[in-house]
Amino acid sequence: MPNRKARGATKIETYGAGGARVLTPEGIALTPQADLARIRFRFASVAGLAIYPPGATFGPRTLRDFEFVWIVDGNVEWEADGVTYPAPPGTLILCRPGMRDMFRWDPERQTRHAYFHFTLEDDGGLPPQSTWPACRTMPEGDILRPLFRHVSWLMNAGRPDWAPLLQHAARQVLVGFLTGAYLTHSEGGLELGPSVTKALKLMQDWADGARPGAPVLGELARAANVSEGHLCRLFKKEVGVGPMQAARLIRIDRAATLLARTNLRIKEIAAQLGFENPFHFTRCFGEAWGLSPRAYRRQAQAGQIVPMTRVIRAIHTAVPRWE
């Protein structure tokens, strides 16, 4: 297959002779005017699983409503308004009203895809449809495919008293797909390689055990089964900071939880997590969160969400603590 490029709603997707690869589109940003609870669907009676023989096609057609498609098996090409998108297994596609589209199913093996149709009676003030991503390939453990199955099941169950459940489930599928909010906590480590994840696990176990300081670089490298130099390069590439700074940030992350959910004094938290003194702790905390410990505690206990920095987010989700 010759190299081709397809421009989606927000990002270029590239594939060629080396095999299909979908670059996950960036999610749309919800504006303050958006009211997700207002989003309301009207569902067609069409929902199910379709199976196609190798080499089959479908279309072209002009969409009159929305259709969510989940490619379960088979490497598919989806063409929409003259743009071709690769759709390997695990891809979710959102076909929109007015689109002229066509599917070319896998030429070598059977294709299976699930689907359901709907119209939006109220879009809740979502951004314009021209900004919406067209397709996404899901990682393992995403929340959207189980919800997709649930939506299809609720549609086919046809129970009027379950109509609110159907609205809620479909709303989560749509908004999760549009914004990119489709991972679960246990999948945070998917963004990190195994060596970095092993080192972070040792750091977290160390912090959970309330041991002062942090493991030294040699201990981290041995846990990760790589050299010290290679571990430093991996951390810089995957996390954005070196391993020792990451170890300090893990203690900062623990401190944030203690600030939000205990009555411990700041100096007690600093001492418990092995910081030299409260002043050193306050400086490190401010560099990580952009807030002083006192301001963070005030906002967190008032129920205000304190946005995580990218580095804190990566460390916070790398190894789920409840597994």
Can you give the pLDDT at residue 7? 32
User: Would you say residue 315 has pLDDT above 70?
Assistant: no
Can you give the pLDDT at residue 144? 96
Pair of tokens at residue 125:
């003030």
Structure confidence by residue, pLDDT tens digits, 95-150: 999 999 999 999 999 898 999 999 999 999 999 998 999 999 998 789 999 999 99
CA distances from 189 to 21, 64, 177, 322 (A): 21, 40, 20, 14
Q: What are the chain's domains?
A: 4-183 (2.60.120.10), 187-318 (1.10.10.60)
Structure confidence by residue, pLDDT tens digits, 172-218: 999 999 999 888 754 444 457 889 888 988 888 887 665 666 788 99
Percentage of the chain exceeding pLDDT 70: 82
Largest CA distance in the chain: 69
| C-alpha–C-alpha distance, residues 182 and 71, integer Å | 17
Given pLDDT bands bounded at 50, 70 and 90, which one contains residue 313? low
Can you give the pLDDT at residue 127? 93
Q: Residue 150: CB partners within 8 Å, gap ≥ 6?
A: 169
Strand ordering across the sheet containing 135-137? 40-52, 111-122, 66-73, 91-95, 135-137
Q: Can you say whether the dihedral through the CA atoms of 235, 236, 242, 246 is positive or negative?
A: negative
Percentage of the chain exceeding pLDDT 90: 47
Task: Decide: 46 and 110 in contact? Cβ < 8 Å.
Answer: no
63: three-class secondary structure by DSSP:
coil
Can you give the pLDDT at residue 23? 36
Bridge partners for 42 per DSSP: 119
Which of the pair, 27 or 316, is modelled with greater confidence?
A: 27
Please compute the mean of the pLDDT values over residues 225-229 and round it to a whole number: 93
Residue whose entry in the numeric block shows the structure tokens 């989940």? 70
Task: Decide: 29 and 127 in contact? Cβ < 8 Å.
Answer: yes
